[in-house]
Structures are given as structure tokens and as C-alpha cells.
Amino acid sequence: MARPLPRMRDRYRYFRPIDLRWNDVDRFGHVNNAIFFELFDTTVNVWLAEVGLFQKDYDPMCVVARHACDYFLEIKQSDKVEVALAIETIGTSSLTYLPALFRVGENQPAAQGTYVHVAVDRTTRRPTPIGSEAVRICEGLVVLTD
């Protein structure tokens, strides 16, 4: 299995601290792999709320088409962590985000993800262009990738 290269801290401009919960941890005493997706999902949606995109009455709406995570380091409940967020590609009707979880003060991510949103028409639920406002706002989160 080829492991992806970790994307270091300096590739990101947007960071948001996030709490870990007691029952995020499984019997191995580390944060369970499924929990990282809750943290990434929350961060994407909080960022979208901050910039006012794809909210309740916005057309189009976005649905998640793909979510993936590579794990590099174990995380404990007591670790202080933050989720970094960048956008890799802005497609006609899709957005590919690159979330990552960092321990505060570390350059290497503990885990990094890929999160793909597809814009769909609120009524037909068919893919539709994300629109020029979304393109303009999302360009602010694009980072160079390898």
C-alpha cells in the first residue's frame, strides 16, 4: 500500500480548534478512526457557514460524494487538536476540500482527508454549477498541492 505524503502545516491558512470527547476513544485508548470524519465534516460546514455559502435557503445545495482519511499518528482524548482546511480543486459542480487534523504546535498532521462536495439543484437533486459566488469565495481557500 502506497502511503500518501503528509501535507504539512504551512500548506494551510485556515485552522479551527476542535474538542475531543470522552467517548471518541475506543478500547485502544485512542480516538477511533470514524470520529475524524465527524471533525472534518464539522469543519467544512462551519467554514461554509462563516462565509455564507450553501446555507439553508441557498441554491444549489451540496451533498457529500466522497470522504476519505489517511491516519499518521494516534490521537488521545487529552490532546489539544485543530482541524486545518484547504480546497484542492474547484470543479464546475464540485469542490474538493483537504481537511487535516493537527496537534497544536506540530507541523505534521495526525490525519489528513479528502472531502468532495457536489452541488445539486435543490429541487431536482441533479448536479448543477456551484455558481460564480462560490467559485470566488472558495478560491480564497485554495492551496498549492504537490
Residue ranges binding its own copies (CB under 8 A) = 1, 3, 18-19, 21-23, 25-29, 32-35, 37-39, 41-42, 45-46, 49, 63-71, 74, 77-78, 89, 91, 94, 96, 114, 116, 118
Cβ proximity to its own copies, 77 vs 128, nearer residue: 77
Q: Identify the burial level of 34 via C-beta atoms within 10 angstroms of its C-beta, where 0-12 means exposed, 13-18 middle and 19 or more buried.
A: exposed
Give least dist CB 55 to its own copies, A.
Answer: 10
Q: Taking the complex as a whole, how short is the minimal distance between the CB of residue 129 and its own copies, in angstroms? A: 14
Instruction: Please count the other Cβ atoms lying within 10 Å of the Cβ belonging to residue 128.
Output: 17
Rounded Cα distance between 82 and 134, Å, is 25
Q: What is the secondary structure of 37-73 as a DSSP string?
A: HHHHHHHHHHHHHHHT-S-TT-SSEEEEEEEEEEE-S
Name which of 10 and 57 has its Cβ closer to its own copies.
57
Nearest distance from residue 97's CB to its own copies, in Å? Answer: 12
Pairing between β-strand 81-90 and β-strand 14-18 as defined by DSSP bridges? antiparallel
- Nearest residue (CB) to its own copies, 22 versus 146: 22
To the nearest whole angstrom, how small is the minimum distance from the Cβ of residue 32 to its own copies? Answer: 4
* CB nearer to its own copies: pick between 95 and 141: 95
Give the amino acid at 58.
Answer: Y
